[in-house]
Amino acid sequence: MLDLIAPTAHLRSSWLEAFREWPLDGFLLETGGHIGYSVRPSARRRGVATRALAALLPRARALGLDRTLLTCEEDNTGSARTVERNGGVLEDVRSGAYGTRRRYRIDLDGPGRDR
Protein backbone atom coordinates (compact mmCIF):
# COMPACT_ATOMS: atom_id res chain seq x y z
CA MET A 1 0.00 0.00 0.00
CA LEU A 2 2.97 2.35 0.39
CA ASP A 3 3.03 2.72 -3.40
CA LEU A 4 -0.18 4.73 -2.99
CA ILE A 5 1.61 7.35 -0.90
CA ALA A 6 4.42 8.50 -3.19
CA PRO A 7 2.29 9.92 -6.02
CA THR A 8 -0.08 11.85 -3.80
CA ALA A 9 1.82 13.09 -0.74
CA HIS A 10 4.07 16.12 -1.01
CA LEU A 11 5.65 18.68 1.21
CA ARG A 12 5.32 22.21 -0.11
CA SER A 13 9.10 22.41 -0.32
CA SER A 14 9.14 25.00 -3.10
CA TRP A 15 7.89 27.70 -0.75
CA LEU A 16 9.56 26.21 2.33
CA GLU A 17 12.95 26.64 0.65
CA ALA A 18 12.10 30.23 -0.20
CA PHE A 19 11.66 31.29 3.42
CA ARG A 20 14.58 30.85 5.79
CA GLU A 21 12.47 31.20 8.94
CA TRP A 22 9.37 29.43 7.58
CA PRO A 23 6.79 32.20 8.00
CA LEU A 24 3.18 31.48 7.17
CA ASP A 25 1.04 34.34 5.98
CA GLY A 26 -2.02 34.98 3.88
CA PHE A 27 -3.43 31.90 2.17
CA LEU A 28 -1.02 29.46 3.80
CA LEU A 29 -1.71 30.72 7.30
CA GLU A 30 -5.48 30.72 6.93
CA THR A 31 -6.09 27.84 4.54
CA GLY A 32 -3.04 25.94 3.35
CA GLY A 33 -0.57 25.15 6.11
CA HIS A 34 2.85 23.53 5.73
CA ILE A 35 1.83 20.12 4.38
CA GLY A 36 -0.63 19.09 1.71
CA TYR A 37 -1.72 15.60 0.72
CA SER A 38 -4.53 13.95 -1.17
CA VAL A 39 -5.72 10.36 -1.44
CA ARG A 40 -7.57 9.05 -4.46
CA PRO A 41 -11.13 7.98 -3.66
CA SER A 42 -10.47 4.26 -4.25
CA ALA A 43 -7.72 4.29 -1.58
CA ARG A 44 -9.58 6.21 1.12
CA ARG A 45 -10.49 4.74 4.53
CA ARG A 46 -7.47 2.40 4.49
CA GLY A 47 -5.00 4.48 6.51
CA VAL A 48 -3.11 5.77 3.48
CA ALA A 49 -3.38 9.45 4.47
CA THR A 50 -2.33 8.68 8.04
CA ARG A 51 0.80 6.89 6.81
CA ALA A 52 1.51 9.56 4.19
CA LEU A 53 1.41 12.31 6.78
CA ALA A 54 3.53 10.25 9.19
CA ALA A 55 6.11 9.84 6.41
CA LEU A 56 6.19 13.59 5.75
CA LEU A 57 6.69 14.76 9.34
CA PRO A 58 10.35 13.66 9.61
CA ARG A 59 11.04 15.43 6.31
CA ALA A 60 9.49 18.63 7.66
CA ARG A 61 11.70 18.29 10.74
CA ALA A 62 14.77 17.76 8.53
CA LEU A 63 13.93 21.03 6.75
CA GLY A 64 14.16 22.82 10.10
CA LEU A 65 10.56 23.05 11.21
CA ASP A 66 9.86 22.47 14.89
CA ARG A 67 6.09 22.41 14.33
CA THR A 68 3.72 22.31 11.39
CA LEU A 69 0.36 23.81 10.59
CA LEU A 70 -2.19 21.65 8.79
CA THR A 71 -5.73 22.59 7.84
CA CYS A 72 -8.83 20.78 6.64
CA GLU A 73 -12.40 21.69 5.89
CA GLU A 74 -14.49 21.81 9.05
CA ASP A 75 -16.74 18.94 7.98
CA ASN A 76 -13.92 16.67 6.74
CA THR A 77 -13.83 14.27 9.67
CA GLY A 78 -11.52 11.83 7.87
CA SER A 79 -8.83 14.46 7.38
CA ALA A 80 -9.27 15.72 10.94
CA ARG A 81 -8.75 12.16 12.26
CA THR A 82 -5.66 11.77 10.06
CA VAL A 83 -4.06 14.87 11.54
CA GLU A 84 -5.08 13.96 15.09
CA ARG A 85 -3.62 10.44 14.72
CA ASN A 86 -0.31 12.08 13.85
CA GLY A 87 -0.28 14.27 16.94
CA GLY A 88 -2.27 17.21 15.62
CA VAL A 89 -3.78 19.51 18.21
CA LEU A 90 -6.70 21.67 17.17
CA GLU A 91 -5.56 25.29 17.34
CA ASP A 92 -8.78 26.92 16.15
CA VAL A 93 -11.52 26.97 13.52
CA ARG A 94 -11.61 29.92 11.13
CA SER A 95 -14.03 31.05 8.46
CA GLY A 96 -12.72 32.86 5.43
CA ALA A 97 -12.83 33.16 1.67
CA TYR A 98 -12.23 29.40 1.28
CA GLY A 99 -14.85 28.28 3.79
CA THR A 100 -14.52 27.18 7.39
CA ARG A 101 -11.22 25.45 8.17
CA ARG A 102 -9.97 23.48 11.17
CA ARG A 103 -6.36 24.48 11.92
CA TYR A 104 -4.04 22.01 13.63
CA ARG A 105 -0.48 22.20 14.92
CA ILE A 106 1.85 19.22 15.16
CA ASP A 107 4.87 19.56 17.43
CA LEU A 108 7.84 17.97 15.62
CA ASP A 109 10.05 18.09 18.70
CA GLY A 110 7.71 15.93 20.74
CA PRO A 111 8.37 12.42 22.05
CA GLY A 112 8.92 9.83 19.34
CA ARG A 113 9.68 12.35 16.60
CA ASP A 114 12.75 11.85 14.43
CA ARG A 115 15.44 14.44 14.98
Residue 22 backbone class (left: φ over 0; alpha: ψ -120 to 50; beta: rest): left
Span 57-101, pLDDT tens digits: 998 898 888 999 999 999 999 999 999 999 999 999 999 888 999
pTM, full prediction: 0.75
Model confidence at 29: pLDDT above 80: no
DSSP-assigned states of every residue in 95-109: EETTEEEEEEEEETT
